[in-house]
Structure 1
């Protein structure tokens, strides 16, 4: 059946066309132009951080963050196994070893107690992943990082607008990475951002992302750098999206509340926030009590023209990371039982109510 309600669709109803046309008219369409600086400063102001460096996508934002911290072969980086593959691949790109930790049942985020257990003399950093718009326990994780003199890297790809105890995620660690892929809270099509409050880390980020080009001599490169720059066109899209970010976040929270109210008394749990966090609801997600019903429900909704996605499969179960047998029971249970429901800002109240009605019908029939 044709998809009537996709799991995600970007909202491009602001100044996107206007700003992109300005790029075209100016002919500044590559990695130089006024929108790059405007977007970087605007995003830094949104987070209340000192520095932001735009990049070509969220995966390279993670890789760049690790590179500028000097992480490489022989180092270990602790990372949750319940995450999108990019978090782990970025570690592998550097030659470092990803060390997996389990999740917390209630929040789905990385387990600080398991992080503490996995620290060795080779541990160089903890990569915190704020999964599906919910923040990790940053008090506990930051305390562990400080105690063991470890770098703290925040993967905020799914958490633009998320807050922990009133403070935006991306502002707790040494460096943070964001994604602006087409399904993120704001989008540039493909794009990302590396943010920090440390000037040296920022200077290294801009140096490495621009092919390692010397500041003082044309075509002189003093490190092996990368072409990770964002285009002016992407930055123009990003600036227009950033102007609407409060609208997007507020609508996401309204959609989540509708799901919560209309999915009561069913054999599932909605992934909701608590008083001390601001869940940005990048994805509105449910956890079925019975894992055997997960794929059946997804197939049932698909037959009604409603697109869904499974939760991420724990990375330690994937072939390239499964050489050493491991068990992370909570992450595995979450991965086999979870579903992402449609949650884009233009989703109507009637759409949400219809989706919930079909979910109820599935459990009745």
Structure 2
């Protein structure tokens, strides 16, 4: 293979430049304009979220959620350990304390350990990651949030288009967030979205995301905010991308099925919980016998990008002193697992060739 095959590259719909041209013609290229409202509405229409706020990335969306929920110095926030650090750093922004929770057989957060931690730690919130586009056991987590009185924030950064009982990831909890980073199922190059059924909270998010400016002719500030609002240019890209989201989910799932058919005898693949549909953002597997790092090196020699599964947060040096409720699941997944190229522009024959290289290597 000559040209590089990336893990999850952007895949444009063809409409992006047309919409960007409209933005430039309007001269609304700042964090204000028609396409921001259109992008927010498109997320509402697709996911049935009631209210949305477009921001610069998924991490800022989580930060706004924590700020609005009153998470502060000394509060404890439970969080998936098997995730990307962007899910966790907003806890630190609020001077709160992360408490990490391990995975279960679904690879997502273990509700049993969540309950154990909730009894002991008295958390103010839980941030659950819907890992690699697969739904966590959201009904169990909702039950626990009500039983123990903590807020539930869904990190659906990787899971736009995933559903549980036909209800979309990100719309179950107090807040949900999506990411539109360059490697996500749809992209605005960078960007995020905060969603909630609470309109007042989203009004606060818009206020805080635009530097908390009061309604005066001059700049008046009774509190501090952030420069977190998405630009009209990026929102225009998002509008075009949303028009093909369902096609992208379909293709991601087809890619997963080909990998599973070709490699199912030498690896186990991330499962879907019952009654759910994942978006299969990345095809992820754990090898039965092969060393994933050696497989990755072999693929690299053929100009093919792959990546280890997330290194658990509780094993990261920056969190060496953090509390964690651990059963060993995420560490075992990290040691044996690999993310395979999952770009929606991949051809079937390219996927089959990747599988051939994996088997041979």
Q: SS of the counterpart of 1:128?
A: strand
With structure 2 as the length reference, what TM-score do the two structures score? 0.96
Gaps of 5+ in 2: none
Cα distance in 2 for residues equivalent to 1:280 and 1:342: 15
Task: Within 5 Å, give how 1:150-229 maps onto structure 2.
Answer: 150-215=150-215, 218-229=218-229
Q: SS of the counterpart of 1:123?
A: coil
Does structure 1 conserve the Cα–Cα contact (< 8 Å) formed by 2:55 and 2:191?
yes
Gaps of 5+ in 1: none
**Are 2:321 and 1:317 equivalent residues in the alignment?**
no
Cα RMSD between the aligned structures? 1.6
Task: Within 5 Å, give how 1:88-107 maps onto structure 2.
Answer: 88-105=88-105, 107=106
Q: SS of the counterpart of 2:78?
A: strand
Which residue in 1 is equivalent to 2:331?
332
**Are 2:276 and 1:277 equivalent residues in the alignment?**
yes
Indicate how the Cα distance of structure 1 residues 301 and 67 shifts in structure 2: closer, same or farther if over 3 A, else same.
same
Cα distance in 2 for residues equivalent to 1:8 and 1:131: 15
**How many residues end up aligned between the 2 structures?**
359
**Are 2:249 and 1:253 equivalent residues in the alignment?**
no
Cα distance in 2 for residues equivalent to 1:324 and 1:160: 30
Which residue in 2 is equivalent to 1:110?
109
Runs (4+) off by over 4 Å: 324-328
Which residue in 2 is equivalent to 1:300?
298
Cα distance in 2 for residues equivalent to 1:104 and 1:272: 11
CA drift of 1:359 comes to: 1.6
CA drift of 1:17 comes to: 0.4
Any idea what the Cα deviations from partners look like across 1:260-292, whole Å, max 9, x if unmatched?
1111321x11224255110101101111124x7
Any idea what the Cα deviations from partners look like across 1:3-60, whole Å, max 9, x if unmatched?
6211121111321000111111221111111101111111111110110000011111
Does structure 1 conserve the Cα–Cα contact (< 8 Å) formed by 2:100 and 2:322?
no
Q: SS of the counterpart of 2:88?
A: helix
Which residue in 2 is equivalent to 1:67?
67
Cα distance in 1 for residues equivalent to 2:8 and 2:78: 30
Indicate how the Cα distance of structure 1 residues 16 and 109 shifts in structure 2: closer, same or farther if over 3 A, else same.
same
Q: SS of the counterpart of 1:336?
A: helix
Cα distance in 2 for residues equivalent to 1:254 and 1:214: 49
Indicate how the Cα distance of structure 1 residues 211 and 246 shifts in structure 2: closer, same or farther if over 3 A, else same.
same
Does structure 2 conserve the Cα–Cα contact (< 8 Å) formed by 1:3 and 1:302?
no
Indicate how the Cα distance of structure 1 residues 109 and 351 shifts in structure 2: closer, same or farther if over 3 A, else same.
same
Indicate how the Cα distance of structure 1 residues 162 and 325 shifts in structure 2: closer, same or farther if over 3 A, else same.
closer
Q: SS of the counterpart of 2:54?
A: strand
Cα distance in 2 for residues equivalent to 1:216 and 1:159: 39
Does structure 1 conserve the Cα–Cα contact (< 8 Å) formed by 2:175 and 2:195?
yes
